[in-house]
Amino acid sequence: MLWKSFFVMLSIGFSLSAQQGFSYGDSILAVVGEKVITAYEVMQASTREESRLPRELTVQQRTEEVVAIRRRILSNMIDHELVYLEFQALKAKVPESVLQERLNQAIIAQAAGDRAKFEDLLYRENMTLQDFKERMAKNLAVDMLLYDRVNRGITISPVKIQQHYESHAADFNQIAQYRLEVILLKKDGRYKDNLPATLREIQAKLQSDTSFAELAKEYSEGANAEQGGDQGWLTHMNEKLQGLVLTLKPGEVAPEPLDLGSSLYLVRLAEFSPGSNSLTKEVEEKIRKILTAEEENRRYEKFLRELRLKYPFKRMDGMN
């Protein structure tokens, strides 16, 4: 992405000398091996995330958020370079076939398969095709090594899943949910003079297969009439209403209206989602993903701690 404007001298804790002609983008934020990471590179990488910050933030709040984003991105860049140093030390290689496949995918995605157009897009970004291939090869190298050291071969045993469930059961137990459609008729509303006749009319149309939602739009005096009387998913209801709903199967309409004082309610149970307080297959899969992510994070941090001790690097933002 081409940069058209930059934040001017946004302090993120650096100690920089004031020189004639100096700009924030020229500053060096980190050195990893022989790789120099500049503020310009960090700002390039953070621009999309910064653009999503809420507009209502104060200047101070926005500055703090931007500082946090850029520091996190700088940390990620440093980690990326450390992993690449290890890939090089292992004398590993990215298969040329994999690199060419990824390049072809990029040309298709960015230029509809037109190589000349793709190279022109790169030129506008001050990048050659060779530059792009080298960057892609580096990213693939990092991905390959991280997969080998972090992602590969993780197995979560049924015992660990059961233990996690027992320790966090409240996080996974599900309450039964009901999605209702309702036609509400007020006793002192627009049908007050012929309420029984209106009820008979509605029920007759229901028996002739007229859509409940269409009848709700036509007759209901409730707030959700335009939505076909849809009340959304409910977990808690009036005791009388719940008693009625429990007698219905999904798709059924209660044979008689429910009288709740000032109004009558014709109720249809549109959908039902049963509750659960057991280790279902769905819950088991959620827990497996959680534990897998935790193991990946543990492996990643262990691997990076080893690399930080093995290879020289320095960051100049006051964070160590």
Query: Is 284 among the domain residues?
Result: no
Flag the least confident range among 2-16, 50-64, 162-176, 305-319. 2-16
Query: Is 33 among the domain residues?
Result: no
Q: Are residues 216 and 180 in the same domain?
A: yes
Q: How far apart are CA 114 and CA 99, in angstroms?
A: 18
Rounded alpha-carbon distances, angstroms, from residue 17 to 23, 27, 37, 99, 314: 11, 10, 18, 42, 18
Across the chain, mean pLDDT equals: 89
Rounded alpha-carbon distances, angstroms, from residue 107 to 45, 100, 142, 205: 21, 11, 21, 59
Query: Is 38 among the domain residues?
Result: no
The residue among 187, 295, 179 whose CA lies nearest residue 228 is 179
106 pLDDT higher than 70: yes
Q: Are residues 184 and 247 in the same domain?
A: yes
pLDDT value of position 7: 33
Q: How far apart are CA 26 and CA 36, in angstroms?
A: 11
| CATH number of 226's domain | 3.10.50.40
Query: Is 239 among the domain residues?
Result: yes
Q: Are residues 194 and 230 in the same domain?
A: yes
Q: Are residues 231 and 190 in the same domain?
A: yes
Q: Are residues 207 and 244 in the same domain?
A: yes
The angle at the Cα of 11, spanning 7 to 15, to the nearest 5 degrees, equals: 130
98 pLDDT higher than 70: yes
Average pLDDT over residues 200-222: 94
What tokens does 228 get?
């076909």
What tokens does 254 get?
């209660």
* 313-315: strand order across its sheet: 35-38, 28-32, 313-315
Query: Is 258 among the domain residues?
Result: yes
Query: Is 80 among the domain residues?
Result: no
pLDDT tens per residue, range 64-88: 999 999 999 999 999 999 999 999 9
pLDDT value of position 272: 92
Q: Which of 238, 257, 273 is the C-terminal boundary of a domain?
A: 273
Q: Is residue 117 a contact partner of residue 126, using CB atoms and an 8 Å limit?
A: no
Q: Are residues 116 and 192 in the same domain?
A: no
Q: Which of 152, 167, 192 is the C-terminal boundary of a domain?
A: 152
pTM for the complete prediction? 0.65
Q: Are residues 217 and 265 in the same domain?
A: yes
Q: How many domains does the chain have?
A: 2
221 pLDDT higher than 80: yes
pLDDT tens per residue, range 241-283: 999 999 999 999 999 999 998 999 999 999 998 877 788 898 9
pLDDT value of position 191: 93
Whole domain around residue 138: which residue ranges?
96-152
Query: Is 180 among the domain residues?
Result: yes
Query: Is 305 among the domain residues?
Result: no
